[in-house]
Amino acid sequence: MSIEKILFAGTPEFARASLRALVEAGHVPVAVLTQPDRPAGRGKRMTASPVKEYARSKGLEVWQPATLKDPDIIASIRDTEPDIIIVAAYGLILPQSVLDIPRLGCLNVHASLLPRWRGAAPIQRAILEGDKETGICLMQMEAGLDTGPVYAQVATPIGAGETAGELHDRLAVLGGRLLVDKLVEILDGSLGAVPQDESAATYAGKIDRQDAAIDWGKDAKDIQRHVRAYNPVPGAYFNFEGESVKCWRADVIPEVSGQCGKIMAAGKTGLEVACGTGALRLLEVQRPGKNRVTGAEFAAQVNPVGKRLG
């Protein structure tokens, strides 16, 4: 087989893992697309994406269009005559005019077992819904939202206490590994793509801060999954005496009950908060502008026993 021409499009850490896997396996892209630099951190300094940082470290050409509808960037993509465009968490929609350019189309590295959890937040949604497993799919892209046929997938169990951040890191590695394992077969046509079962499709829309607010009227198991799903972004939170406090880690106490949202006890093991069913032990929390502390340290600061959380 002749040397392939690959374009890669991706932005965050998840995408960097796939790009690294490609480069280390000898599938070096002719160019890399990533989102424009963004202000980040308290100082709001313009910051390059993880994909850009890695690409530059390897001497790869980097393009950072604000949109893929620009005729100039479409012309640049067409001029490379790519065999395939590989996309991983790019963050920009590929219009049909771009999808049609590569000889073999566009391939997406998606962090779920499609057709379950199409959309922007499949990792968080899998944890929120109590899925026992998730995984990676290599999907042929089309105009619909993650609706294309699937070349290959690999499943992995979700740990009982695993956070979205921890699962993200594992899936990023799995994605790069699966991509490298199957790419040659995709390029030479020996691996075909299988259409998704539309009747089994579920959707995972974008997450905003309001989604992360804790509802103490829910079952303690649901709230604990909520805490895990929004760790590290945007962070599950509750209101305590006018402060928005984030909860980073919590355990379920199934045999305890009380008025939902009420702090029933506080000790060395953390804060015990009554939920709609059962109770939750808050192990690690963070007040605004402060460092993360244990539940016991928080209790020593504010004397919360008997108070209710909003």
Q: Which position has the token pair 């690999």? A: 154
- Cβ neighbour number for residue 23 with a 10 Å cutoff: 18
CA distance linking residue 307 with residue 298, whole number of Å: 13
**Hey, what are 238's tokens?**
């509750």
Q: Reply yes or no on whether the pLDDT at 1 is more than 80.
A: no
CA distance linking residue 196 with residue 57, whole number of Å: 37
CA distance linking residue 293 with residue 61, whole number of Å: 43
Average pLDDT of the chain, as a whole number? 95
The full set of domains in the chain, from first to last, is: 6-204 (3.40.50.170), 209-302 (3.10.25.10)
> What's residue 98's pLDDT?
97
In angstroms, how far is the first alpha carbon of the chain from the final one? 62
CA distance linking residue 198 with residue 45, whole number of Å: 43
Digit-coded pLDDT (tens) for 46-73: 999 999 999 999 999 999 999 999 999 9
Express as a percent the part of the chain with pLDDT over 70: 99
Q: Reply yes or no on whether the pLDDT at 303 is more than 80.
A: yes
Q: Reply yes or no on whether the pLDDT at 278 is more than 50.
A: yes
> What's residue 27's pLDDT?
97
Query: For the chain, where are the E strands, in sequence order?
Result: 6-10, 31-33, 38-40, 45-47, 62-63, 84-88, 106-110, 118-119, 133-140, 150-157, 203-204, 236-240, 243-253, 263-267, 270-274, 279-286, 293-294
Contact between 174 and 152 under an 8 Å Cβ cutoff? The reply is no
Tell whether pTM > 0.85: yes
